[in-house]
Amino acid sequence: MRRLIPILCSALLLQGCVQTLAIRTMGGILDYGFEAFNEESDLLLAEDALGSNLKLLEALIKGDPENEGLLLLASQGYSAYALAFAEDESPERAKMFYLRGREYGLRLLRLNSKLRAALDGDAAALVSTLQSLSKDDVPAVFWTAFGWAGYVNIARTDLEALAALPRINAMMEFVLARDPGYYYGGGHLFFGSIIGSTPAVLGGKPARAKEHFEKALALNGGKFLMTHVYYAKTYAVQVQDKQLFESLLNTVDEASLEILPEARLPNAVAKKKARILREAMDELFIE
Amino acid sequence: MKRRTLYFFLFVFLVGTCYSQQFIIKFATIAPENSTWYNVMKEYDAAVRKESGGRLKFQIYAGGVSGDERAVLRKIRIGQLHSGGFTGVAMGEIAPSVRILDSPFLVRNNEEVDFLAAQFEKDFEQAFEKGGFVLLGWAEVGFVHVFTNAPIQKPDDLKHIKLWTWEGDPVAEAAFRALGISPIPIAFPDVLTSLQTGLIDAFYSTPYATIALQWHTRAKYLVETPISRAASAVLLAKSYYDKLPADLQEILMRNGRTILPKLVKLVREDNIKSTELLKKSGIIIQQVKDSELSIYIEAGKRARKSLVGKLYTEDFLDTVERSLDEFRKNNRTSK
């Protein structure tokens, strides 16, 4: 009997270790899983698979709540789901998923004690704290800001969210400064869209928006088609350049999904968004 | 016989459907998609579409794609657009006398605003018609406060700040002149940059607009006494309105008067919420002492007087001020 106790104890300990180990391994597999999602060109298959894997991911996070890799995947996964499969169909669902993307990102960033305080403060405090971070922190900052901005964009009546925009901008400025090429020039794509959708009378600077889009296109070689979609949706509409709008969307329509195999999914989503955008053209351009 | 009657009705019905013309009101707003403005206009659109069986609808151009309000006005005059949400300067170009609602230190709360709008509704409607427009309904911008970086304990402190003023707005100019301030005129789009570079260190705006424009990151104080309350109206070109069949005119007007008040209510709520958020973000509300209040009130009187002849007649100003005094006497809550 006495001998049994240490065995039981070590078994219990071992069980804990095994569980964590298993989660870590699963996390690694999921990493590949997300690569595989991004390579998927069939939107229906990707939607189903991404949805169920996000729940699996959440279960794993419950078992290992401070696992940085898992938190990042969850942040990225939920925001990607919102952008790809909810935003155009149900803004209410998209709001919820963007918020989850933001929350997992914030959980990850808050593991850093300096950031924890700065994230709740004003934009100036956040700017100076971000300066102490390195290029390795770019993904976490990018996906948190991405989810946050995605939410603000569709929840314009949420004033608290609107008031957070300067902090979101500060985070994306950091991404631009440390790694402008991250996620196909994602920082430039963000600022192009934000500046490009602001009317000139409210301080929008169309020329600067155009610069950001052109830099994003240069960084991703024109192969990441979301760039064209947002270039058309924001800048081209704001300056009422219908010709540019149509030529950007034509480029998206005509592009093969094989131009960037690792981003077949975002590119397929871009094609869907381009179609929706074209259908709304009458409301975007004044005849 | 029966069959012939049936054919006759079928014929009338088909001709009716084919020939009932569809009217599409092209409406422009600076407000972006998903904003309060946009959502309420969408509701207005849905209501008139439903009631008219699809014969009348709005085409909404949001997010300022048709330019600022003056550009929208030009586009309406050449027939490219038909309708828009107007405020301040552009509203004054259509109907100068309506800007009495914006005039410095005139109204002090929403009850007074609503009283004036109702009391002088006919006058304002006529003024809009004279300018070629029909009033579909009032909208709202709200109470305009001065935001500063230095504390403002008395009106005199305002003389020592670098205050922005909107180029070409006679109402703002009159208000500041009456207070003895020489503001710095800067185009609207350059305000944030000018605050960042220090060319100006103070501005005026509603709490909501301050957050929406992200100007709140550049202010420390909000002066509690508003310098004015900014009106807004949804207007339709009269030439377009006159082309509509009577039943569509009725549907359009009735729904405007029931749905647009929701916009007024929501914007007012947004301004209250925004003030709370501003406080939370660290902006200090500068209260004005009762003894100092009279300085603002007197400046307001002078400023309003100085706009006589430019925007409205002396007679109209007197009538408005008198009925407002009366309203205040009868409503103790309205201080």
Span A126-158, pLDDT tens digits: 999 999 999 999 999 999 999 999 999 999 889
Residue B110 has a pLDDT of: 95
In this structure, what are the phi and psi dihedrals at residue B312, rounded to the nearest 5 degrees? Answer: -145, 170
Rounded mean pLDDT, A237-251 = 96
Using CB atoms, pick whichever of A157, A159, A283 lies closest to residue B211. A159
How does B260-296 read in b/e, with b if 16+ C-beta sit within 10 Å? bbebbebbbebbebbbebbeebebeebebeeeeeebb
* Angstrom distance (rounded) from CA B236 to CA B240: 7
* Chain B nearest-CA residue for A169: B214
Comparison of pLDDT for B248 and A63, the residue scoring more? B248
Rounded mean pLDDT, A162-173 = 93
Residue B334 has a pLDDT of: 46
* Angstrom distance (rounded) from CA B240 to CA A7: 89
**Alpha-carbon distance values, B245 to A50, A253, B55, B249, B251 (Å):** 53, 43, 10, 6, 10
Residue A6 has a pLDDT of: 58
ipTM of the complex, rounded to two decimals? 0.81
Residue A262 has a pLDDT of: 94
Q: Are B204 and B183 in contact (CB under 8 A)?
A: no
* Angstrom distance (rounded) from CA A91 to CA A155: 9
DSSP annotation of B282 reads T
Q: Does A157 touch chain B (CB under 8 A)?
A: yes
Full-model pTM: 0.86
Using CB atoms, pick whichever of B32, B80, B277 lies closest to residue A163. B277
- DSSP E strand boundaries for chain B: 23-28, 56-61, 83-87, 133-148, 164-166, 184-186, 203-205, 221-223, 228-237, 284-286
Rounded mean pLDDT, A265-280 = 96
Residue A263 has a pLDDT of: 95
Residue A9 has a pLDDT of: 54
Please provide the average confidence, as pLDDT, over all residues in chain A.
90
Q: Cα–Cα–Cα angle for A162, A168, A174, nearest 5°?
A: 165
pLDDT at A13 over 80: no
Q: How many CB atoms lie within 10 A of CB B301?
A: 16
Rounded mean pLDDT, A197-226 = 93
Selected for mutation to probe chain A from B149, B211, B269, B279 (highest A CB count within 10 Å) is B211
With CA atoms as reference, report the closest residue to B314 among B125, B91, B100.
B100
Q: Are B201 and B150 in contact (CB under 8 A)?
A: yes
pLDDT bucket at A286, cuts 50 / 70 / 90: confident
* Chain A nearest-CA residue for B194: A203
Give the tens place of pLDDT for each residue, B315-330. Answer: 999 999 999 999 999 9
Q: What is the DSSP string of B15-69?
A: HHHHHS--EEEEEE-SSPTTSHHHHHHHHHHHHHHHHTTTSEEEEEE-TTTT-SH
* Angstrom distance (rounded) from CA B111 to CA B264: 12
Least confident of A7-21, A239-253, B72-86: A7-21
Strand partners, B234: B85, B137
Residues of A with CB below 8 A from B38's CB? 156
B 9-68 → A contacts, CB under 8 A: 26, 28, 30, 32-36, 38-39, 59-61, 63-68
Cβ distance A286 to B66 less than 8 Å, yes or no, reads yes
Residues of A with CB below 8 A from B211's CB? 159, 162-163
Give the tens place of pLDDT for each residue, A79-127. Answer: 999 999 999 999 999 999 999 999 999 999 999 988 998 887 778 889 9
DSSP annotation of B167 reads T
Rounded mean pLDDT, B213-239 = 95
Residue B96 has a pLDDT of: 96
Two structure tokens written together for A129: 């704290």
Q: What is the DSSP string of A144-197?
A: HHHHHHHHHHH-TT-HHHHHTHHHHHHHHHHHHHH-TTHHHHHHHHHHHHHHHT
Residue B71 has a pLDDT of: 92
B186 three-class SS: strand
Give the tens place of pLDDT for each residue, A26-61. Answer: 666 677 777 888 888 899 898 988 888 899 899 999
Q: Cα–Cα–Cα angle for B66, B138, B122, nearest 5°?
A: 120
Give the tens place of pLDDT for each residue, B115-149. Answer: 999 999 999 999 999 999 999 999 999 999 999 99
pLDDT at B265 over 60: yes
Residue A14 has a pLDDT of: 53
Least confident of B36-45, B62-71, B251-260: B62-71
Residue B33 has a pLDDT of: 86
With CA atoms as reference, report the closest residue to A109 among A3, A124, B39, A101.
A101
Residue A37 has a pLDDT of: 81
Q: Does B110 touch chain A (CB under 8 A)?
A: no
B103 three-class SS: coil
pLDDT at B335 over 50: no
Please provide the average confidence, as pLDDT, over all residues in chain B.
91
Give the tens place of pLDDT for each residue, B300-316. Answer: 999 999 999 999 999 99
* Angstrom distance (rounded) from CA B89 to CA B95: 10
